[in-house]
Amino acid sequence: MSASVTLKDVAQRAGVSSATVSRVINSRGLISAPTAEKVQAAIAELGFRPNAIGRNLKTSRTRTFGVLLPSLSNPIFGEVLEGVQTAALAAGYSIAITCSNYREQEEKHAIDTLLANRVDGLILTVADADNSAQLDVLDAHGIPYVLLFNQPVKTSRSAVNVDNRAAGRLVAEEFIQFGHTRVGMIAGRFEASDRSRLRFQGLCDGIADAGLEAPALVEVDFVEGRVARAVRNLLNRTDAPTALFCSTDMLALSVIDVLRSLGVGVPEQISIAGFDGISFGQLSHPRLATVVQPSHAMGQAAVQHLLGRMAGSTAPKLQVLPAGYRPGSSIGPARV
């Protein structure tokens, strides 16, 4: 698929006028079935995108960035939006926001919706940055975008993130310092979040370095949750973990609530760590131990890099910001 394919190219391949191609694409006017079939065949052969991607960005400017996030129910995404908006407004841009609800199949619709509104560039968090058909399309058409939170292996894709795998290892080391030898993780589904997968891999790295058994793992749906079932599954194991790493703070707070309802003390009977560093964790009891993402700074950095990409002055790069660790009373010594 070439970014240089135009409506005129399709018209020439189909042997019709550009106006006819436009009418077929927009379902306007009377077009014979054979003519419509020729146009559709030419579109398929040339890889032309007869939708928002093929119509905007290069022909008009709206001074608007499109932002795609998995959800707005997790405060971490609200915090990063503040950073995006601050930097965008300073540069004279507004933002348009949409969500995928952690469903990869909704990403295409969300991206097409943003492009249909003729945004000038995109800031995206996707399910899997290295295996995304939507990013492949954006790359092919030369549409400027920057990934946020994703940690792609492909260096051709710009991204602003933290080192999720290194942070997962840090949590393992913290558990081990407190004497925990049986560790588990409750994680958002890997297919919906490459970040969740990397955090688990980091936990495994740290546990393996200590010569301990691999962590137990239960994946849960980001939207439906069903945390209680996941917690019970882990507690019912003969080798039930004494420490649990949760792939987000919101998940960790939900787990603590379930444990409380089951009469299981945190950290007296089981220790809990989260990931994100949302302010709610500071207000919980016990206070949540967590990896802290510099969300506001990440949002600002994404805008600055996107501006460079749009101007053609910045090559794709992976910008890794440092994550911190906030100790909390949700981690304690392993029970004997």
The answer to whether position 301 is within a domain reads yes
pLDDT greater than 80 at residue 29? no
pLDDT greater than 60 at residue 51? no
Domain residues for the domain of 132 are 64-162+295-322
Which pLDDT belongs to residue 1?
Answer: 42
Residues 13 and 89 in one domain: no
pLDDT digits (tens, 9 = 90+) for 88-136: 999 999 999 999 999 888 999 999 999 988 899 999 999 999 999 999 9
Residues 226 and 137 in one domain: no
The answer to whether position 1 is within a domain reads no
Confidence of residue 53 (pLDDT cuts 50, 70, 90): very low
Which pLDDT belongs to residue 57?
Answer: 47
Which pLDDT belongs to residue 222?
Answer: 85
Which pLDDT belongs to residue 117?
Answer: 87
Distance CA 164, CA 150 (A): 9
CATH of the domain at 151: 3.40.50.2300
Residues 170 and 218 in one domain: yes
pLDDT digits (tens, 9 = 90+) for 57-71: 445 678 999 999 999
The answer to whether position 261 is within a domain reads yes
CATH of the domain at 22: 1.10.260.40
Residues 268-295: what's their mean pLDDT? Answer: 96
The answer to whether position 58 is within a domain reads no
Instruction: Please give the mean pLDDT across all residues of the chain.
Output: 91
pLDDT digits (tens, 9 = 90+) for 189-222: 999 999 999 999 999 999 999 999 999 999 999 8
- Tell me what percent of the residues of the chain surpass a pLDDT of 90: 74
Residues 28 and 123 in one domain: no
Residues 187 and 223 in one domain: yes
The answer to whether position 329 is within a domain reads no
Which pLDDT belongs to residue 28?
Answer: 62
pLDDT digits (tens, 9 = 90+) for 165-184: 999 999 999 999 999 999 99
The answer to whether position 328 is within a domain reads no
Number of domains in the chain: 3
pLDDT greater than 50 at residue 2? no
Minimum mean pLDDT range among 45-59, 194-208, 298-312: 45-59
Residues 71 and 115 in one domain: yes
The answer to whether position 334 is within a domain reads no
The answer to whether position 113 is within a domain reads yes
Measure the CA angle with vertex 200, ends 199 and 202; round to 5°.
65
**Model pTM?**
0.82
